[in-house]
Amino acid sequence: MSETAGEAPELSEQELINNFVDWVEAFIHDIEAVTDDENTRYWCPQWWNHPEAVTRLRALYEEYVRAEEENTLSGWFVYHWDAHAKTLFSATGPFELCREGHRFFSRQDTYTPRLVTEAVPNGWSP
């Protein structure tokens, strides 16, 4: 497929992943670098080891890219970032076990197993 004038080249999967990782690292550093004297907000340097955090951050990143293209960053902050940040950094969020260092895999005695699901019946629709 040939590129048309002004169209960006298609990125490889690794380039897309690298862009996402770079965005998370820069964004967290620039936007969420705040003191938490009350110890009510949590983060883990191994954010990539927390599936819920990765999913939320990936959704935020994809909407951020769209908001930049559409010049709607203000709405992105209100409707996307603020909503996800409340969960991401909360005391019950994906980093709750990392309060004193990364403990996601070493605290099996207190780790709550993931919820299980059953297969959706044939013919089901929402």
Q: Phi and psi dihedrals of 88, rounded to 5? A: -55, -45
pLDDT category of residue 119 using cuts at 50, 70 and 90: confident
Q: Which two tokens stand for residue 37?
A: 């004297």
Q: Do 59 and 84 touch, CB atoms closer than 8 A?
A: yes
Q: Which tens digits make up the pLDDT trace of 28-70? A: 877 775 555 666 778 888 888 888 999 999 999 999 999 999 9
